[in-house]
Amino acid sequence: MKKSMLESPHRSYVKINSDTFTPKKSLSDRTFYGLIYVMTIVAIIVTFYPFLYVLSISFSSVEAIDQQKVILFPVGFTLSGYKMVLQYQELWVSFYNTLWYTVVGTVLNILFTCLAAFPLSRPRFFLRRKLNFFIAFTMYFSGGLIPVYMLITSLGLYNTRWAMVLPVLVITFNVMICRSAFEGIPNEIFESANIDGANDITMLFKLAIPIIKPTLAVLTLYYAVYHWNNFFSALLYLGQQDLQPLQMFLRRVLIMASPEVMQKMGGSMSTSALAVSTLQVRYVSIVVSILPIVTIYPFIQRYFVKGITLGAVKG
């Protein structure tokens, strides 16, 4: 088979119903589809199995876990692991904190992203080029970890909620995406609004923002996932436990397997029972922490493709 066959001169003139021309699939094509399905199923299993295992352990009885019977599905169904974890005060505190950081952070992110992007998208704005450079410059140069850390501490933001929000008020790359969206709005709309006496601020909030809603939905998704999963800022700036987000709590339970946390949850259990139930506590914590994402996930899935294509817009 040569490439030239594909580039046959007739190709743009011929339109056919492809089914009528391939009544029987050749052996090679059947192999092709076989491979496609096998690879996809392998990909599904590899991705899904870890989640299934976590879920199964979280619902299994302590005896079954102890005898290492749980491989695929729950054995000896019980909710005692969930009872133990959900009673734990610290989980709820960190859950509330994460919710706070995500909601407040994302709202401010979107507001500031629009405030930055709109002026930069107006062709007549006399500082447009200069300010574009002003923000783009920060994508390539930054003070680095230590100077930023020193700034945050000297501003008195250490151990305050604002340390999770203010340092990432806008992400420059997202401003670029938002700016392109504003630039895509036909200028006539603004001109007619101008004749009606609207100023730029009214135009932004009454006209421009409603028009680019789909883009803002994608940016909201990006910012919200960022805040929900943000661990690094908390590690740096939040020493105080009652301010720490879910991710810091998870780290103590999952990675450091903090004995103090486990004992508080386990109460007066015997050591061996405690060992097994701490294992279950870890898996239950995983389920609880990813549950919100998994729940809203099907609703945001349709934005993924749009998000990716937006990101590909040239900065």
Partner 1 sequence: MKLVKRDKYLLIMFAPVFVYYVIFMYIPMPGVLIAFKNFTPGHGIFGGDWVGLQWFAQFVHSIYFWRLLRNTFLLAFLPLLFGFGIPILFAVCIVEIKNQVFKRFAQTITYLPHFISTVVVAGMLINFLSPADGIVNTLLARFGFEKVNFMMEAGWFRTIFTSSEIWQSFGFSSIIYIAAIMSIDPEMYDSGKIDGVSKFQELWHLTLPSIKPTIVILLLLSLGGIMSVGFEKVYLLYNGATYETADVLSTYVYRMGIEGQNYGFATAVGLFNSIITFVLVFTVNRITRRMTNMSLW
Does 251 bind partner 1 (CB under 8 A)? Our answer is yes
Q: Which of residues 292-311 bind partner 1 (CB under 8 A)?
A: 293-294, 297-298, 301, 304-305, 308-309
Q: How far is the CB of 125 from partner 1 (least distance, A)?
A: 5
Q: How far is the CB of 206 from partner 1 (least distance, A)?
A: 13
- Tokens 């405030």 correspond to what residue? 115
Q: Which of 66, 60, 55 is nearest to 276 (CA)?
A: 66
**Strand ranges (E), 64-215:** none
Does 21 bind partner 1 (CB under 8 A)? Our answer is yes
- Name the helix (H) or strand (E) containing 250: helix 246-250
- What's at 126, amino acid-wise? F
| Binding letters toward partner 1, positions 125-164, x by CB under 8 A | xxx---x--xxx-x-xxxxxxxxxxxx---x---------
Indicate left, alpha or beta for 70 from its phi (over 0: left) and psi (-120 to 50: alpha).
beta
Among 216, 262, 286, 310, binds partner 1 (CB under 8 A): 286
Nearer to partner 1 by Cβ, of 170 and 212: the residue is 170
Q: What angle do CA 243, 247, 250 make, to 5 degrees?
A: 110
Does 6 bind partner 1 (CB under 8 A)? Our answer is yes
> φ, ψ for residue 63 (rounded to 5)?
-65, -45
Q: Which of residues 105-124 bind partner 1 (CB under 8 A)?
A: 112, 115-116, 118-120, 122, 124
Radius of gyration of the chain (CA): 27
Among 44, 86, 189, 273, binds partner 1 (CB under 8 A): 44
Q: Which of residues 184-223 bind partner 1 (CB under 8 A)?
A: 199-201, 204
